[in-house]
Amino acid sequence: MRRRRLASELRRLREAAELTIDEVGEKLECSASKISRIETGHVGVTPRDVRDMLEVYGIEDDEREALVQLSREARKKGWWHAYNEVFTGSFVGLESDASSLHTHQALLVPGLMQTEGYMRAVIRAIRPDAGEADVERRVTARVTRQKLLTDPNPPAYWAVLDEAVLHRTVGSPEIMRAQLERLVELAALPHVTLQVVPFAAGAHAGMECPFLILGFPEQADPDVVYVENTTSGVYLEQPSDVHRYTLMFDHLRAAALKPDDTVVMVERAADRLA
């Protein structure tokens, strides 16, 4: 999140100085592609690079030192860096800094709400060639990630699931029942809202793909939409894209059962597996 904020600020300051990326690269004796990657947040930036760039932009000492300090903080590694082979890209880092998380899933229980048994069954189904050590490494990483929901200052978490998620028995009836009971437990938390779109709703806005909308506490940090696919994910930051997915989520919430009715449906699904 800090790297994203720093990249946005460096881009803004360059534009305010009326300099092109090529001109900055020429002044700093580096490639224009390096400046471009820094401004898009695709690479980290050293405090020295930040100081040099800000000097070119004519930024005064106090503001310059504040941004240099931000670059130092952006280079610090979070807990998820210990699981680089499990968490790729910026997703978990962004998630850990979010103040609100709005997610839709049509096939699976969201990762933050999964039990360990459910996780293992999903990982083995998605990665049939994975060894036991790899599976357990991924389970450990996901369990660590779930601490976000029990943090002293957790994000507001809102999940809208398709009813199909409740009826697809993942692992075994025992594993699935435990998973449904976990959903009921999490739905009771004050910062968690769970809704299910029933089959009776017919076609709905979230049938195409799962997605997550990440909101942040600082006004300088615009919302991000993360759209999942089989091997990776796409980050959408353009206001028009964020607005479109926000509208989709609003339609899903409207089509879904109320939270209390959702809990009743989940409990009945668990009872059927008894």
Q: Which CATH superfamily is domain 87-113+147-272 in?
A: Endonuclease Chain A (3.30.870.10)
State percent of the chain over pLDDT 70.
Answer: 89
pLDDT at 216 over 90: no
pLDDT, the chain, mean: 84
Torsion of Cα atoms, 113 then 114 then 115 then 117, to 10°: 180
In this structure, CATH architecture of domain 2-74: Orthogonal Bundle (1.10)
Does pTM top 0.85 for this prediction? no
Asked whether residue 83 carries a pLDDT value surpassing 50, the answer given is no
212: left (phi over 0), alpha (psi -120 to 50) or beta: beta
pLDDT top residue among 147 and 63 = 147
The sign of the dihedral angle between the CA atoms of 103, 5, 34, 22 is positive
Q: What average pLDDT does the segment 14-42 reach?
A: 79
Q: Where are the domains of the chain?
A: 2-74, 87-113+147-272
Determine the average pLDDT of the residues in 165-170. 94
DSSP string computed for the chain: -HHHHHHHHHHHHHHHTT--HHHHHHHHTS-HHHHHHHHTTSS---HHHHHHHHHHTT--HHHHHHHHHHHHHHTS--GGGGGTTTS-TTHHHHHHH-SEEEEEESSS--GGG--HHHHHHHHHHH-TT--HHHHHHHHHHHHHHGGGGGSSSPPEEEEEEETHHHHS--S-HHHHHHHHHHHHHHHTSTTEEEEEE-GGG-S-TTSS--EEEEE-SSTTS--EEEEE-SS-EEEE-SHHHHHHHHHHHHHHHHHSPPHHHHHHHHHHHHHHT-
Q: Residue 264 corresponds to which amino acid?
A: V
For residues 21 and 39, the answer to whether their CB atoms sit within 8 Å is: yes
Q: Is the pLDDT of residue 79 over 70?
A: no
Same fold, 2-74 and 87-113+147-272: no
Under the banding of pLDDT at 50, 70 and 90, the label for residue 6 is confident
Query: How much is the pLDDT for 51?
Result: 81
Residues near 255 by beta carbon (within 8 Å), at least 6 away in sequence: 197, 201, 204, 205
Please name which of 56, 180, 25, 54 lies closest in space to residue 115, comparing C-alpha atoms.
180
